[in-house]
């Protein structure tokens, strides 16, 4: 009679633990799987992803390069390797990785999106916009893509196009802080101060402790003669610690 028992392999368990965010436990199980099958590309890939999430980029890179030694056409490994390289500041190498991932899997919009983000870090916004356009063509409902395209356009001085993108991001997700913050900045560029204040207020409702947003609101209030409110916004900004950047990219969660 056939057994009714169901056996779960170390690799299956590792992937479940990874999905559940139990990273230390997942790493142990991936190591167990590799002890049994040292040439298992799937296990090396999972191990690399876990190590990257643990911010152990050098170790992650080693695991992901092991995947590519076994399976050089593994698009997911190229993508994750590029992500690790970005965190290590090796941006040109990361671009090559995203290019290879996109070649191997033309329908993976993530590689296009993160290539665009990396190009922005290199101040190559015109090329970044092309990447975001291609990613949006595949996944038009992701607000982060619209935020990052809008942010790149704003850096290029294409303010009206940037405003259109950022409004689209906020329509897709009314809770996207970077969309409202950057939209406020873009509206300031074209002297639409009342709208900018409303956008900064939306951003503050989502993330009340971001200094740059309060500074943007203070500037807009000052422009329309609301000095007392501007002074209060500046006072609040003065007691906050916050990122120094003003035009914020939407962070990838993939």
Long-range contacts for 142-146 (Cβ within 8 Å, ≥24 apart)? 142/109, 142/113, 142/172, 143/168, 143/169, 143/170, 143/172, 143/173, 143/176, 143/179, 143/250, 144/113, 144/169, 144/176, 144/178, 144/250, 144/251, 144/252, 144/253, 145/109, 145/113, 146/172, 146/179
pLDDT in tens, the chain (254 residues): 444 544 447 888 989 999 899 999 999 999 999 999 999 999 999 999 999 999 999 999 999 999 999 999 999 999 999 999 999 999 999 999 999 999 999 999 999 999 999 999 999 999 999 999 999 999 999 999 999 999 999 999 999 999 999 999 999 999 999 999 999 999 999 999 999 999 999 999 999 999 999 999 999 999 999 999 999 999 999 988 655 445 656 655 45
Q: Residues with Cβ < 8 Å from 19, sequence gap 6 or more?
A: none
Return all residues near 173 (Cβ < 8 A) that are at least 6 apart: 143, 179
Closest by CA to 116, choosing from 104, 101, 133, 103, is 133
8-140, what's its fold? 1.25.40
Q: What is this structure's pTM?
A: 0.87
Task: Give, to the nearest 10 degrees, the angle between helix 75-87 and helix 41-53.
Answer: 20
Q: In the CATH scheme, what is the code of domain 142-254?
A: 1.25.40.10
Q: Please tell me the predicted confidence (pLDDT) of residue 244.
A: 47
What pLDDT does 12 receive? 86
HSE, CB side, 13 Å, CA atoms: give it for residue 54: 18
Per domain, the residue ranges of the chain are: 8-140, 142-254
Return the number of other C-beta atoms located less than 10 Å from residue 198's C-beta: 17
């Amino acid at each position: 009679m056939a057994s009714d028992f169901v056996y779960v392999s170390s690799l299956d368990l590792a992937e479940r633990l990874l999905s559940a965010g139990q990273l230390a436990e997942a790493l142990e199980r991936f190591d167990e799987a590799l002890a049994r099958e040292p040439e298992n590309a799937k296990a090396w890939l999972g191990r690399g992803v876990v190590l990257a999430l643990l911010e152990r980029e050098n170790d992650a890179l080693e695991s992901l390069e092991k995947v590519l030694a076994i399976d050089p056409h593994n698009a997911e490994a190229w993508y994750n390797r590029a992500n690790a390289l970005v965190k290590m500041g090796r941006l040109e190498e990361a671009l090559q990785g995203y290019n290879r991932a996109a070649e191997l899997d033309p329908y993976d919009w993530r590689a296009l999106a993160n290539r665009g983000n990396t190009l922005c870090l290199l101040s190559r916004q015109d090329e970044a916009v092309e990447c975001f356009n291609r990613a949006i063509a595949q996944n038009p409902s992701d607000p982060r893509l619209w935020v990052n395209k809008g942010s790149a356009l704003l850096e290029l001085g294409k303010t009206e196009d940037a405003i259109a993108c950022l409004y689209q991001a906020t329509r897709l997700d009314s809770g996207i802080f970077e969309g409202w913050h950057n939209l406020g900045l873009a509206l300031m560029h074209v002297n639409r101060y009342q709208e900018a204040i409303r956008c900064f207020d939306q951003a503050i409702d989502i993330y009340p402790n971001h200094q740059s947003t309060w500074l943007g609101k203070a500037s807009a209030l000052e422009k329309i003669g609301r000095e007392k409110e501007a002074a209060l916004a500046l006072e609040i900004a003065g007691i906050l610690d916050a990122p120094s950047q003003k035009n914020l990219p939407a962070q990838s969660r993939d």
